[in-house]
Amino acid sequence: MKITAAKVIVTCPGRNFVTVKIETDEGVHGIGDATLNGRELAVASYLEDHLIPCLIGRDPRQSEDIWHYLYRGAYWRRGPVTMSAIAAIDTALWDIKAKLADMPLYQLLGGASRSGVMVYGHANGRDIEEACDEVARYREMGYHAIRAQCGIPGLDSTYGVSGDKLFYEPADADLPTENVWSTEHYLRHVPKLFEALRDRFGFEPHLLHDVHHRLTPIEAARLGKDLEPYRLFWLEDAVPAENQEAFRTIRQHTTTPLAVGEVFNSLWDCKTLIEEGLVDYIRATVVHAGGVTHLRRIADLAALNHVRTGCHGATDLSPVCMGAALHFDLWVPNFGIQEYMRHTEETDAVFPHAYTFENGYLYPGEAPGHGVDIDEDLAAKYPYQRAYLPVNRLRDGTIWHW
Ligand code: CS2
Ligand code: MG
């Protein structure tokens, strides 16, 4: 069996997506997500100009060999562009293998370890009251777990707060929007949000919060401590994670569970965090962490160290990534939770998919493969539009973490 063709499809049904489609001499095709928010065309070029020429004529069933061929063969290993490109090809190959085996991908991975995939949604509000009302709305939709973000008095804008209530697109302009950040304002306000949420909803709903990389370790330790009475499911990306050892400071001071990893591209980005038990949930996901092949390795190391998965699932990760992630989630023994930010109707039309939502859970479906496809004619109607993620500056103008 041979790969006969492969192409990159760039489309923008509400936001930009990059997809790889691999075709074979047995008429079976597979697709994979390669979307890297704000850097989409870099991955598209890496695929078109460097990886796809190496694929033609290879046996698509040899996904492990092809993974290492592309990873070790690059010489210049790792990084978000390389690993998103490898991830897209890997996901498409697993899609093909599962279709050849005429089974849903989770069966090929080892079968279902649970009946459904618990997800969390994003409730956000310009203030605490609006955020609480949004949490109530998610409860009505059947969610058992909800991430809560709200506006910070004194700041014009902050991460995770937007007019969109079911999906969220931070890449909002064709040049980076500059926002002003103040840690002092934020640290004073966030505990009040969770106090109000627990007062209104009690301790039944799982509540999550995303700091979005903006604190120093000791500030994160303080926030974790201040939030302990509200029993969060997790506190996410409390500090930038390049320096894994910095999490020791947070761990020393708080029992609030920690989640990290959506920006991770390989096992090496989280090896210390996992082996030292410095985090409780690893958020690496199919599209940015080298595909199904490599994400399994991260999950296996995590399982050895009581760390569970909490895969990233934002709107800028395409339905192809979500489909593959749900099969991974249904199989992975140390599953924790899956993020589920919805997509626009246009996006859902371009990417027809088998997964379904019911009562706070997603179900990947029983279609052979990962259950997601792409309508190329419809995709062609939405040309690429350059869009950047914002940048943050402190009030004195210092560049900060967005
Ligand atoms: C976020 C994302 O969903 C999350 O947890 O951190 O919204 C993130 O900001 C975007 O994926 C960046 O493109
Ligand atoms: Mg996040």
Which tens digits make up the pLDDT trace of 173-220?
A: 999 999 999 999 999 999 999 999 999 999 999 999 999 999 999 999
Q: How many percent of the chain have pLDDT more than 90?
A: 98
Ligand 1 atom nearest to CA at 122:
3
Helices (H) and strands (E) in the chain, counts: 14, 16
Residue 21 pLDDT level (bands cut at 50, 70, 90) = very high
CA–CA distance, 34 with 291 (Å, rounded to integer): 10
Residue 107 pLDDT exceeds 90:
yes
Q: What is the mean pLDDT of residues 153-159?
A: 93
CATH for 3-104, options being 3.30.390.10, 3.90.550.10, 3.30.450.40, 3.40.50.450 = 3.30.390.10
Based on the residue annotation, tell me whether 212 is a catalytic residue of this protein.
yes
Encoding tokens for residue 393?
């500056």
Taking the centre of ligand 2 as the mean of its atom positions, its distance from the CA of residue 252, in whole angstroms, is 23
Encoding tokens for residue 267?
């096992």
Tell me which DSSP letter residue 176 carries. Answer: P
Taking the centre of ligand 2 as the mean of its atom positions, its distance from the CA of residue 19, in whole angstroms, is 22
Residue 139 pLDDT exceeds 80:
yes
Q: Residues 184, 189, 190, 195: is their CA dihedral positive or negative? A: positive
**Using an 8 Å Cβ cutoff, are 336 and 308 in contact?**
yes
The domain ranges of the chain are 3-104, 108-368
Residue 168 pLDDT level (bands cut at 50, 70, 90) = confident
Residue 52 pLDDT level (bands cut at 50, 70, 90) = very high
Q: Is the CB of 316 under 6 A from ligand 1?
A: yes
- Catalytically annotated residue among 143, 159, 230, 281: 159
Q: Is the CB of 210 under 6 A from ligand 1?
A: yes
Closest CA to 54 of 75, 71, 35, 70: 70
Minimum CA distance residue for ligand 1 atom 3: 314
Residue 167 pLDDT exceeds 90:
no
Tell me which DSSP letter residue 265 carries. Answer: -
Residue 349 pLDDT exceeds 90:
yes
Residue 158 pLDDT exceeds 80:
yes
Based on the residue annotation, tell me whether 327 is a catalytic residue of this protein.
no
Residue 354 pLDDT level (bands cut at 50, 70, 90) = very high
Q: Give the three-class secondary structure for 31.
A: strand
Q: Give the three-class secondary structure for 51.
A: helix
Taking the centre of ligand 1 as the mean of its atom positions, its distance from the CA of residue 63, in whole angstroms, is 29
**Using an 8 Å Cβ cutoff, are 325 and 338 in contact?**
yes
DSSP-assigned beta bridge partners for residue 32: 20
Ligand 1 atom nearest to CA at 314:
3
- Environment class of residue 195 by beta-carbon count within 10 Å: exposed (0-12), middle (13-18) or buried (19+)? middle
What is the C-alpha R_g of the chain? 20
Ligand 1 atom nearest to CA at 171:
13
Closest CA to 108 of 171, 61, 39, 168: 61
Ligand 1 atom nearest to CA at 147:
5
Using one digit for the tens of pLDDT, what is the confidence trace for 273-313? 999 999 999 999 999 999 999 999 999 999 999 999 999 99
Q: Is the CB of 37 under 6 A from ligand 1?
A: yes
CA–CA distance, 329 with 369 (Å, rounded to integer): 15
Mean pLDDT, the chain, rounded, equals: 97
Q: Which amino acid is at 57?
A: G
Listed in sequence order, the residues at least 6 apart from 185 whose beta carbon sits closer than 8 Å to its beta carbon are 152, 153, 154, 155
Taking the centre of ligand 2 as the mean of its atom positions, its distance from the CA of residue 139, in whole angstroms, is 21
Minimum CA distance residue for ligand 1 atom 13: 37
| Equal fold, 3-104 vs 108-368 | no
Ligand 1 atom nearest to CA at 38:
13
Residue 80: the pLDDT is 98
Taking the centre of ligand 2 as the mean of its atom positions, its distance from the CA of residue 366, in whole angstroms, is 29
Residue 165: the pLDDT is 77
For tokens 């007019």, name the residue: 163
CA–CA distance, 39 with 52 (Å, rounded to integer): 19
Residue 163 pLDDT exceeds 90:
no
Taking the centre of ligand 1 as the mean of its atom positions, its distance from the CA of residue 200, in whole angstroms, is 27
Q: Is the CB of 314 under 6 A from ligand 1?
A: yes
Distances, alpha carbon 90 to alpha carbons 26, 59, 264, 293, in Å: 18, 13, 17, 7
Q: Is the CB of 262 under 6 A from ligand 1?
A: yes
For tokens 């499809």, name the residue: 9
Listed in sequence order, the residues at least 6 apart from 268 whose beta carbon sits closer than 8 Å to its beta carbon are 78
CATH topology of domain 108-368: TIM Barrel (3.20.20)
Using one digit for the tens of pLDDT, what is the confidence trace for 225-261? 999 999 999 999 999 999 999 999 999 999 999 999 9
Residue ranges in 202-287 assigned as alpha helix (H) = 217-227, 247-253, 271-275
Q: Give the three-class secondary structure for 215.
A: coil
Residue of 147, 316, 343 to test ligand 1 pocket, by largest number of atoms within 8 Å of CB? 316
**Using an 8 Å Cβ cutoff, are 148 and 206 in contact?**
no
